[in-house]
Each structure stands twice: as C-alpha cells, then as structure tokens.
Amino acid sequence: MAAVPSDVDTSSQPPLAIPLRHFVVALGFLLAGAALGVVDTLWSVPGFARLAHLHLLLVGFVCLTIAGAMTQFVPVWSGTALHSRRLASAQLWLLTGGLLGFVAALLTGRLVALPVFGGLVLAGFWVLAYNVGRTLAASRPLDVTERHFAVALAFFVALTTLGLGLAVDLVVPFLAPAVPRGAVVSAHATLALFGAVLTTVFGALYQLVTMFGQTDLDDTDRALQRAEMVVYPIGVVALAAGRLLGAASLARLGAALLLAGVLAVVVVLGRRLRDARVEWTPMLTRYGLLVPVLALWTLLTIPAWLRAPLAGDATFGAPGTAHLLAMVFVLVLVGTLYHIVPFLVWVHRYSDRLGFEDVPMIDDLYDDRLETADLVLVAGGGALLVAGEWASQAAVRTLGGGALAFGLAVFTLNVALVVWRHAPGSLRRAATGGVDADQS
C-alpha cells in the first residue's frame, strides 16, 4: 500500500484541475513525441524532425510535468499558498500554444514562425519562474528541496533566453562567427537537461524517496547532500559556460563537478531505497531502476567528458548514452506520476471520507496489470533502444523504440483511467481549462 504521509499539509495546495491540466497535456506531448520518434526511424520525416522530437519530449512531457508538480507541491511542502493560481493556468497555455506552434514550424519548415512561438514558450517558463519563485520567497528559510527548485527556476530563465536566441538565429542569422551556433546549442542543452531538469529531479527525489519510503537521511547522506548542493549547480554553470565560450579547461572542471554531484545523489538514493520500510510501490520500483541507470550513465560519461567535454557527440554524456540518459527522465517521471496522480485524486475524492465509510487505498486506484505491462515494456524497450544505439543496429533501436512507445501509451491509459473513474469532474475541468472561482 502506498504511504500517505501524515506531515503533508494539503490544505495549501491549488485546486486539482490546475496540476491535472499540466499532467494531461504533458502526457499528450509524451505520446506525440514517442510516436514522432518511431515514425522518423521508420520513414524519414521532413523538416527538423529530430529537433521537434526532442522538444516534444523535453519541453512537452518533462518540463510540463515539472511545471505541474512544482505548482502542486511547492505550496504543500512549503506550507504556503501558491502566489497566483491564474498565473499557474496562464503558464500552461503559453507553454502549450508556444510548443505546438514551435513544433509545427519545425516540421513544416516555416522557420519564420519560430521566434514568435519560441517567445511564447519563454513567456510560459518565465511566468512559472516568477510564480513559483514568489511562492518560495514566502516560505524562507528554504530546505534542500526548495533550494534545488529555486536554482532550477534560474536555469529555466537562462536556457529559454538562449533558446529564443537560437530560434531568432534560424530566421535572421546573427550568432556566427562571434559566437558559433553550435556552442550556443550545446550550452542551451546543458542548461536544459542538467540545469533545469536534473536539478528539479534531484530536489524532488530527496523529498519523495524519504517521504514515501518512510526512511530518514543519516549523517553520511546529509554530508553528500550538502556537497551536491554546492558542486552540482556550479558544475552545470561551468560546463555550460565552457561550452559556450569554447573553453575546454572550464568545461572539464564543470563536468567533473557536475558528475561528482550526480554520484553523490546516486549514493544517497541507493542508500535510502535500500532502507525503505514500506512495500515497494510502482514509484519506488522505478526509482530503484533509476539508480543503476543513472550510475551507469555517469560512469560511462566520466572519461568521455574529462577527455573531450566540447565534443559534439558528447553533449548528452558519453557518445551512445543519450537514450540511457533519456531513460533516467522516463523512469523518474513515470514513477512519480504513478503516485502523484492517484495521490491527488485520493486526497480530493476520498480523504474526507476516511473513517466514515470504506474508501479505496491509493494503490487501488490504478490497474496493477497495466502497471506491470508498462513497466516491462518501458524497461525492456529502453534496454533494447540503448543496446541498439551501442551496437549501431537500426532494427534493434526500432524494436526498442516501438516497445517503449507502446509502454508509455499503456502508462498514459492507466493514469487517465484513474482520473476518469475517480474524479471525472476534474478531468473535464482539466480538458476544458476551466478556471476556479477562487483563483487569484
């Protein structure tokens, strides 16, 4: 049975429809991105298909999920009201409209529209940074999770600034030769993946693994956590700056600090999962898979980044490890959503009935068979995708990508059924974008 923490104050959370809208749209982008990746592998899609695929998955699925989770849980964890519910709704529609237009422009080759839609995406992330940042400012002093979130918000602002510059450069070239476009792309990707996304993931995992594993950090964990909080963000900044400026020594230093921070997180998570005092849930199971995957990516990347941190094929880690890193994001987000969505639905639908009538447990809300099926498909498909990349076998990559996409579709169905069966009114409000009367 999934643990229901007794020290979480859900009275300060926003209405269910606000985060749920983010998750519903994010899952739609997940399916679209996975489908585009499979189709592009089988038949070459015209336009900038690979760039569209990356943005659908990274911005559409990963970052929209992060935006919804921050909007939901920063008020809960910090015990303070969200600064503005209207801004939380606005950020979603800015991001959704901007990304749809951005991807359409990439696929159709109408690059002149990229700065317009890129500007909408930038506005959406800046609204997120302002709204959540104001919420965090009201809850000082910040704990370790809140500090990670604050740093991640700064990375969102920086990476979107570079991203808009790249979009403009495709229409009106202005970067080269003073600042090569490839250097800006590499810095942008570094700030996105390792700055905004992984910083958020690390901060959330510190909270979620201990909370739902019903375990506590010991002195060793706290020492590693304090070290990571310092070396990791400095490493991200140094690596991104080194890549932007073409300074190999600075990038190498940043890579070393960044990877040291990742290893510290791997050790802390592994120790806390080992000591978990509850039955393993789908969330903890996927976190358990996340630890060796992240450790393997780190160990493979160390020699590649220390040797050539500016290499074009080493932007996402060692050559051939891009899909391995992608599996880190998939495992942590799928695992987290397997708890967040049922937990939110349970709190809104059943928590006030507890003790007065029989109510289902959180784990009763989703289908166990579908959960097992998507775990096998996602883990197996991801393994085949990575193996095909390493062996340069297109057929294996295609099979793995298809299995992964199908597994993600099964996961999406399972999560959607939770809401459809137990909170259909919230799903309708999420789909239509209804605004709660008490929004400010």
Given a contact cutoff of 8 angstroms between Cβ atoms, the answer to whether 15 and 344 are in contact is no
- For 118-136, b/e burial (b = at least 16 CB within 10 A) is bbbbbbbbbbbbbbbbebb
Measuring CA to CA, which residue among 85, 71, 81, 90 is closest to residue 19? 71
| pLDDT higher than threshold 50 for residue 436 | no
Does pTM surpass 0.85? yes
C-alpha count within 13 angstroms, C-beta hemisphere, residue 124: 26
Cβ neighbours of residue 262 closer than 8 Å, sequence gap 6 or more:
198, 232, 294, 298
Helix axes 424-432, 17-42, angle to 10 degrees: 70
Q: Residue 19 carries which side chain, given as an amino acid letter?
A: P
Given a contact cutoff of 8 angstroms between Cβ atoms, the answer to whether 309 and 257 are in contact is no
Given a contact cutoff of 8 angstroms between Cβ atoms, the answer to whether 12 and 81 are in contact is yes
Q: In the prediction, which pLDDT does 14 show? A: 64
Give the single-character DSSP code of 349. H
Cβ neighbours of residue 136 closer than 8 Å, sequence gap 6 or more:
74, 78, 142, 146, 149, 150
Average of per-residue pLDDT values in the chain: 89
Q: Which tens digits make up the pLDDT trace of 306-351?
A: 999 999 899 999 999 999 999 999 999 999 999 888 888 887 788 7
Measuring CA to CA, which residue among 131, 263, 156, 148 is closest to residue 208? 148
Q: Which tens digits make up the pLDDT trace of 273-308?
A: 999 888 888 999 999 999 999 999 999 999 999 999
Q: Which tens digits make up the pLDDT trace of 359-392?
A: 888 888 899 999 999 999 999 999 999 999 888 8
Number of CB atoms found within 10 A of residue 399's CB = 17
pLDDT band at 428 (very low <50, low <70, confident <90, very high): low
Q: In the prediction, which pLDDT does 155 show? A: 98
